Structure 1
Amino acid sequence: MENMRRRFVLNLIAYAALRDVPAIQLCRLAGIDLPALQGTGDYIINNQQLNNLWREASTLADDTMFGLHFGESLQLSALGIVGEIIRTSKTVGEAVEQAAALSHLLTDLFRVIVERKESHFIIRFLPLTERTDMFVFRQTIELFMVFVVHELDGLLLRKVKPEAVQLPYRVEQEAEYTRVFRCNIEKSTDDYALVFDNRYWSESLLSANYEIQRTLLQKVAAHNSTEGDSLREKIHQYLLTNAYLGIRSLSEIAANFNVSPRTLQRKLKEEGINYQDVADEVRKSLAIHYLEEGGYAVKTISYMLGYNELSAFTRAFKRWTGKTPVSYQKN
């Protein structure tokens, strides 16, 4: 469990850094030894340090929905955790059941069970401990609920929409919860649950595409730019880390960074660039990486980069490099 917790904490710190939170300051306030955490030894994060980390990250980022937004950004990081499940499961149902059985490796705050009904299946998050710190509990459980929704995207390589999301409290910024979860939030008596249509249950996993996702992981690791100070660099890293189902829109990025689209564009303009330029930088970088490293079909690469038509990808790539994707790949 400590290994998984260490990985989780590192991901949280990296995401906070993208949100302009200084990693050194965050760890100092949380009582965490950052060099020891990043080292090769068995540095243990206790519950109090983890609770402190949640609180300080949310405060420094000025975001009461920090857990919600962190969960939205965990898509690629999740591949490292569920990679074995992807390789050993044939269907979404099998993967969901295996993931639920392993949930204790990630948290001791709740357990996950899966219930199959006639028309839908429900993933329930059942609290295990007394919730003495409701703020931290809520941040954590919302993170994992969002994480599940977005990880299903990775299993099927398309955006999955729940039928319902049930929480035992009313959310203040309902529009943002609806955007992240892709459906309306239902207030329940005491349930934390995700409800999905049964049509997803028996769908075959696109495990053949796991290799192209691994290629993306390698690209992200090589980039390693979370320490960049500029907003341009932070957005570039975020787009890169969440790029296996296309490039996020300006409004989606702004919402995750907890600012308005106009504010985000203004800050980028101050750095001499606009959002579309950053997005194209990421698309170009990934397109070249996929063509050089993977031997993947050009049509697959086009889809992974979010292009609806192969012709649109071909025109863009020729504008970037002077060559078509096919000719570039052959050379």
Structure 2
Amino acid sequence: MTPLGTASVAALRQYVRCAEAKAIAVADLLCQAGLSEDILETDDGRIDGEQFQTFLHLLAERSSNPILGLETGDFVQPGSYSVLGYISMSCATLGEAVTRIAPYEKLVGDMGTTRLRMTGDEVTLVWHCNYADPLVRPHLVDNVFASWVNYARWLGDVEQAAPLCVKLQRTSPGPELELEYQKRWNCPVTFSAEEDSLSLSKALLSSRLRQPDPMLRKTLEAHALYQLAELETGTDLTAKVRRAIHQQLASGITRQDMIAEDLGMTSRTLQRRLSQEGTSYQKLLDEVRQKMAEGYLRDSEMSIPDIALRLGYSETTSFHRKFKAATGKTPGEYRKNKVGSV
């Protein structure tokens, strides 16, 4: 499985809102990242971390904006943090909300981890980014800190509240664009720093929040713990195999033995365990291929032979036959109908 884990659809939506505001064609980016637009309609959906990183890379390329990550922070909403956002809303103080980040941030995604450090009258949140793509990483870190600041101001109804300082490992985007950080954060910002961190005054952490609800917070935290247990035990083999197939097909290969090896088992064991879950490798392959095929036909200009090749078919005729069996239409007819209905 990918070392980047997964990301919540809630996190993806924040970037989508920003892209749409800048008139960037989101459907095209999703398609190129191997994602269906339908995923945006799910409330608790998750996507492969590699796909999320690819989407962010494509978005950064398309925007050509050195401070894209900073600007995406303007689009944060409580739902951007999944259930963690609602837990923080029900906390009594900003300090209470801050201490909930590290235990539950995995629910937002595996993009990075937070560590709290206390020194005198300061509390520092150090964020370690797990994404290595040199184009994506600085935007992701900027997004995390910009989102934290905007969301904390909204939570505490303190529009002028500011960190003591922010340190970023990224290089400076230039003197003019540095002013954008100052304008949003109203604090010193250091570039080319040794760590990515944001420091707050302990006094600020005592700020009362808008709508504290201790009983609701306990209920939400119980739900969050259940979701974390599901993520960490990883018993849903079908979902894991489906994600692995999706990732392979994005590279034009279909290798059951490689997926089995990544999951620490033989192909025979994989087949047996999938059978116990009421499915098979071939069935999952067919389902993922079909969804990806529909996405390529609907949202890209790839030729049908190229789509067949990308999806691991040795012959275009095999692709035609499978697709028509699933939809009652040939790939060409499907594309024509979808384009005509837009």
* Equivalent residue in structure 2 for 1:13, among 8, 12, 16: 16
* Equivalent residue in structure 2 for 1:200, among 190, 200, 204: 204
Residue 175 (1) aligns with residue 179 (2): yes
Task: Give the letter for the 2:25 counterpart.
Answer: P
Q: CA deviation at 1:44?
A: 5.0
**Larger relative contact order, structure 1 or 2 (CA cutoff 8 Å, min sep 6):** 2
Task: Give the whole-Å Cα distance in 2 for the aligned partners of 1:10 and 1:79.
Answer: 10
Q: Which residue of 2 aligns with 1:84?
A: 87
Task: Give the whole-Å Cα distance in 1 for the aligned partners of 2:68 and 2:104.
Answer: 24
1:111-147 CA distances to partner (integer Å, 9 max, x unpaired)? 11222332221111134x4x53122122212111111
Q: Cα distance 1:42–1:205, how it changes in 2: closer, same or farther (>3 A)?
A: closer
Q: CA deviation at 1:194?
A: 0.6
Q: Which residue of 1 aligns with 2:135?
A: 135
Residue 51 (1) aligns with residue 32 (2): no
Task: Give the letter for the 2:14 counterpart.
Answer: N
After the TM superposition, which residues 284-323 of structure 1 pair with which residues of structure 2 at under 5 Å, given as runs? none
SS in 2 for 1:13: helix
Task: Give the letter for the 2:9 counterpart.
Answer: R
Q: Which residue of 1 aligns with 2:103?
A: 101
Q: Which residue of 1 aligns with 2:157?
A: 157
Q: CA deviation at 1:97?
A: 0.4
The answer to whether the 8 Å contact 1:78/1:151 transfers is no
Q: Which residue of 2 aligns with 1:34?
A: 37
SS in 2 for 1:201: helix
The answer to whether the 8 Å contact 2:163/2:186 transfers is yes
Q: Which residue of 2 aligns with 1:246?
A: none
Task: Give the letter for the 1:12 counterpart.
Answer: Y
Task: Give the whole-Å Cα distance in 2 for the aligned partners of 1:44 and 1:174.
Answer: 34
Unpaired runs of at least 5, structure 1: 210-331
After the TM superposition, which residues 175-324 of structure 1 pair with which residues of structure 2 at under 5 Å, given as runs? 175-187=179-191, 189-207=193-211
**Which protein shows a greater Rg?**
2
The answer to whether the 8 Å contact 1:55/1:136 transfers is yes
1:2-59 CA distances to partner (integer Å, 9 max, x unpaired)? 9961122133223211110122222222221113x14559865222221221122122
Task: Give the whole-Å Cα distance in 1 for the aligned partners of 2:43 and 2:106.
Answer: 23
The answer to whether the 8 Å contact 2:165/2:198 transfers is yes
Q: Cα distance 1:208–1:93, how it changes in 2: closer, same or farther (>3 A)?
A: closer
TM-score (norm 2): 0.54
Task: Give the whole-Å Cα distance in 2 for the aligned partners of 1:135 and 1:80.
Answer: 26
Q: CA deviation at 1:165?
A: 0.4
Task: Give the whole-Å Cα distance in 1 for the aligned partners of 2:112 and 2:141.
Answer: 8
The answer to whether the 8 Å contact 2:182/2:188 transfers is yes
Q: Which residue of 2 aligns with 1:221?
A: none
Q: Cα distance 1:38–1:168, how it changes in 2: closer, same or farther (>3 A)?
A: closer
Unpaired runs of at least 5, structure 2: 214-342
* Equivalent residue in structure 2 for 1:74, among 73, 76, 88: 76
Task: Give the letter for the 1:61 counterpart.
Answer: S
The answer to whether the 8 Å contact 1:11/1:77 transfers is no
1:282-311 CA distances to partner (integer Å, 9 max, x unpaired)? xxxxxxxxxxxxxxxxxxxxxxxxxxxxxx
The answer to whether the 8 Å contact 1:24/1:34 transfers is yes
Q: Cα distance 1:197–1:99, how it changes in 2: closer, same or farther (>3 A)?
A: same
Q: Tell me how many residue pairs correspond in the alignment.
A: 205
SS in 1 for 2:125: strand
Give the percent of matched residue pairs that are identical in Structure 1 and Structure 2: 17
TM superposition outliers: structure 1 runs of 4+ over 3 Å: 1-4, 38-44, 75-81
Q: Which residue of 1 aligns with 2:126?
A: 124
Task: Give the whole-Å Cα distance in 2 for the aligned partners of 1:71 and 1:53.
Answer: 17
Supply the RMSD in Å over aligned alpha carbons.
2.8
Q: Cα distance 1:134–1:62, how it changes in 2: closer, same or farther (>3 A)?
A: closer
Task: Give the whole-Å Cα distance in 1 for the aligned partners of 2:116 and 2:73.
Answer: 20
Q: CA deviation at 1:75?
A: 4.0
Q: Which residue of 2 aligns with 1:145?
A: 145
Q: CA deviation at 1:195?
A: 0.9
Q: Which residue of 1 aligns with 2:311?
A: none
Q: CA deviation at 1:80?
A: 5.9
Task: Give the letter for the 2:47 counterpart.
Answer: I
The answer to whether the 8 Å contact 1:75/1:154 transfers is no
Q: Cα distance 1:39–1:83, how it changes in 2: closer, same or farther (>3 A)?
A: closer
Q: CA deviation at 1:105?
A: 2.0
Task: Give the whole-Å Cα distance in 2 for the aligned partners of 1:2 and 1:184.
Answer: 33
